[in-house]
């Protein structure tokens, strides 16, 4: 990145797990001519789509394993590129310095493509000024210095990785640590123990699931101790972290819990030295957020997007709320339209969508405000609360609020539920499509001697349905206590026969649900949920890791969930 930008080139990071055909649009739209690829897998993808990308003239690979017999003229090793660079430098003294001098703050620094939840991804053009001013402002607010340690483990294509492990490194000079491999990230996280940490909610959900599985396998005394001290943490952990008054007895109990439970748990999570931790990318469930803060991790929510160079709202120390993303960051302006859509103006705001003047005009007003497409409101303390994507927030048939992402996040707090898709806009009740977490439910089943042959079999078992029903009904009890969302309780649900997958276009590469696609693909299941049927046959096309396609079929059970009255919810509380 540094080398390319120093020469005036524009980096366009791609997701390494994207299938070849997903890369075609971006490579052609951005007119990419040079690619740095990690290994044979990535090179093979590029060679597969080369006829569709005639402008792609150079492919440089880092890992030579398996590439010895490749003779295509476009391919060369990274070592060969370095040799050519040294030869050019020797033949043209002063060239590099001259190129550096030509750079300006308003030059394009990078193009990051949006996730494309509803249409083709758009190339977001960000200048050096956009990225550096945004990253520097947030670093100053948090007091980041060159003594921080960061783990760079997120996809390069995600703007969060660029800001937290690249732009802010340039602004502060802290140490960026790279994991040895995707498989060793958790081990490396514990070894490095970063002081500055960022994780999207899906990573935090996965970590909590691992903790839950380990505790279920622990001895009875350890389980009792964990449950008892986590109760203490839920009562006072967040208040102690925020410097609020807490009684001496509770402080002593919490201190003992820190010695016996919270400290070892932070170490297992790799967060024993974390000074500032952020989560963003999508809304996080309040329960999940409160868990991390309760064990002494200074977890904060922030709000932003690719178009805003990430930082829009940040929760200040001592002003943390589980259901807001904080006030606007320094230098950022936020306002709401009459319909509740969030508009933003800031130094980090993107210049344009590449070669897409129409989309740029739709997204940016004449006076420089960016239409985020998110719906929210400010609370009495000036903190912004995000409800959902504006297009996803709707109403039930009786006119009450329906915010699907809020419901889905509450469901995903449970370790047994990996993905959830809530349906209800314009309908008389809310229903839900669910994915179980195969590892967590598999561990639960094995401890009960329940045999199963794979995901589809485990997901269809009556015992699994009862386990998940308990989670859904607990969410319903919580919703019943909220006057705005009491009518959004989940009446019926089913467990899908396959995991939602980005390769099957059901999720984006950042694991955001593609609601429109899912509604069309699983229309028969949604009809069955609302028609009162007890089961429904479904056959689904899937893409395997090697690129082949096939189909999975199953007859899915449909279950009802208990609905709570507000009075019953108060008694349960």
Size of the chain, expressed as the number of residues it contains: 573
- Kindly report the backbone phi and psi dihedral angles of residue 329, in degrees, each rounded to the nearest multiple of 5, phi listed first: -70, 160
- Kindly report the backbone phi and psi dihedral angles of residue 320, in degrees, each rounded to the nearest multiple of 5, phi listed first: -95, 130
Q: Are 237 and 295 in contact (CB under 8 A)?
A: yes
Cα(236)–Cα(198) distance, integer angstroms: 24
Position 394 scores a pLDDT of 84
Q: Which domains does the chain have, with CATH numbers?
A: 1-103 (no CATH), 119-203+271-388 (3.40.50.12780), 394-572 (3.30.300.30)
Host H or E run for residue 567: helix 566-572
DSSP 421: E
Cα(552)–Cα(539) distance, integer angstroms: 6
Q: What angle do CA 469, 400, 370 make, to 5 degrees?
A: 105
Q: Are 412 and 419 in contact (CB under 8 A)?
A: yes
- Kindly report the backbone phi and psi dihedral angles of residue 88, in degrees, each rounded to the nearest multiple of 5, phi listed first: -65, -40
Per-residue tens of pLDDT for the chain, all 573 residues = 999 999 999 999 999 888 888 899 999 999 999 999 999 999 999 999 999 999 999 999 999 999 988 999 999 999 999 999 999 999 999 999 999 999 999 999 999 998 765 568 899 999 999 999 999 999 999 999 999 999 999 989 999 999 999 999 999 999 999 999 888 999 999 999 999 999 988 889 888 888 888 888 889 999 999 999 999 999 999 999 999 999 999 999 999 999 999 999 999 999 999 999 999 877 777 778 899 999 999 999 999 999 999 999 999 998 898 888 999 999 999 999 988 899 999 999 999 999 999 999 999 999 999 999 888 889 889 999 887 777 788 889 999 888 898 899 889 888 899 999 999 999 999 999 999 999 989 999 998 999 999 999 999 999 999 999 999 999 999 999 888 889 999 999 999 999 999 888 898 877 788 888 999 999 999 999 999 999 999 999 888 766 678 888 999 999 999 999 875 555 454
**pTM score:** 0.79
Q: What angle do CA 288, 509, 542 make, to 5 degrees?
A: 105
Position 118 scores a pLDDT of 57
Q: Which residues of 40-68 are buried (b: 16+ CB within 10 A; e: fewer)?
A: eebbebbbebeeebeebeebbbeeeeeee
- Kindly report the backbone phi and psi dihedral angles of residue 351, in degrees, each rounded to the nearest multiple of 5, phi listed first: -75, -50
Q: What angle do CA 154, 27, 355 make, to 5 degrees?
A: 105
User: Cβ atoms within 10 A of the Cβ of 145, count?
Assistant: 12
Pairing of strands 559-560, 490-495: antiparallel
Cα(500)–Cα(513) distance, integer angstroms: 9
Q: Which two tokens stand for residue 97?
A: 């310095």
């Amino acid at each position: 990145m540094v080398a390319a930008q120093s020469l005036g080139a524009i980096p366009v990071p791609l997701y390494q797990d994207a299938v070849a055909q997903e890369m075609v649009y971006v490579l052609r739209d951005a007119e990419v001519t040079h690619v740095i690829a990690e290994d044979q897998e990535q090179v093979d993808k590029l060679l597969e789509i080369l006829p569709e990308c005639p402008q792609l003239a150079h492919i440089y690979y880092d890992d030579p394993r398996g590439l010895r017999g490749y003779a295509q003229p476009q391919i060369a090793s990274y070592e060969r590129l370095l040799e050519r660079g040294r030869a050019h430098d020797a033949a043209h003294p002063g060239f590099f310095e001259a190129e550096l001098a030509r750079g300006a703050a308003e030059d394009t620094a990078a193009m990051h493509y949006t996730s494309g939840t509803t249409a083709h991804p758009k190339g977001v053009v960000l200048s050096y000024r956009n990225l550096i001013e945004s990253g520097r402002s947030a670093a100053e607010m948090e007091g980041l210095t060159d003594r921080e340690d960061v783990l760079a483990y997120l996809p390069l294509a995600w703007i969060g990785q660029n800001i937290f492990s690249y732009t802010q490194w340039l602004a502060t000079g802290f140490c960026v640590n790279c994991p040895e491999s995707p498989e060793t990230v958790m081990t490396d996280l514990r070894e490095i123990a970063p002081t500055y940490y960022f994780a999207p909610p899906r990573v935090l959900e996965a970590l909590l699931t691992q903790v839950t599985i380990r505790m279920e396998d622990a001895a009875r005394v350890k389980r009792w101790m964990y449950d008892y001290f986590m109760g203490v943490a839920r009562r006072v952990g967040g208040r102690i972290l925020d410097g609020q008054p807490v009684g001496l007895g509770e402080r002593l109990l919490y201190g003992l819990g820190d010695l016996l439970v919270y400290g070892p748990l932070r170490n297992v999570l790799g967060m024993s030295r974390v000074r500032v931790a952020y989560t963003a990318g999508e809304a996080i469930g309040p329960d999940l957020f409160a868990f991390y803060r309760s064990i002494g991790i200074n977890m904060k929510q922030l709000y932003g997007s690719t178009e805003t160079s990430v930082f829009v709202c940040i929760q200040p120390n001592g002003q943390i709320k589980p259901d807001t993303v904080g006030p606007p960051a320094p230098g950022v302006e936020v306002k709401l339209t009459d319909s509740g859509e969030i508009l933003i103006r800031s130094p980090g705001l993107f210049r344009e969508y590449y070669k897409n003047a129409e989309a740029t005009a739709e997204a940016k007003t004449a006076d420089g405000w960016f239409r985020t497409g998110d719906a929210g409101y400010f609370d009495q303390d000036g903190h912004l609360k995000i409800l959902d994507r504006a297009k996803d927030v709707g109403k039930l048939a009786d006119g009450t609020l329906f915010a699907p992402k809020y419901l889905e996040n509450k469901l995903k707090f449970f370790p047994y539920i990996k993905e959830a898709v809530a349906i209800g806009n314009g309908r008389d009740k809310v229903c839900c499509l669910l994915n179980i977490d195969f590892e967590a439910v598999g561990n639960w089943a094995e401890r009960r001697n329940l045999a199963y042959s794979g995901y589809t079999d485990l997901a269809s078992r009556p015992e699994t349905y009862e386990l998940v029903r308990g989670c859904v009904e607990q969410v319903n009890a919580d919703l019943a206590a909220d006057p705005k969302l009491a009518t959004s309780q989940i009446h019926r649900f089913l467990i899908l026969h396959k995991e939602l997958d980005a390769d099957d276009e059901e999720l984006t590469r950042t694991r955001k649900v593609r609601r429109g696609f899912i509604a069309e693909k699983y229309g028969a299941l949604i009809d069955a949920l609302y028609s009162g049927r007890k089961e429904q046959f479904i056959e689904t096309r899937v893409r395997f890791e090697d690129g082949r396609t096939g189909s999975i079929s199953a007859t899915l059970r449909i279950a009802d969930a208990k609905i709570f009255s507000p009075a019953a919810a108060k008694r349960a509380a």
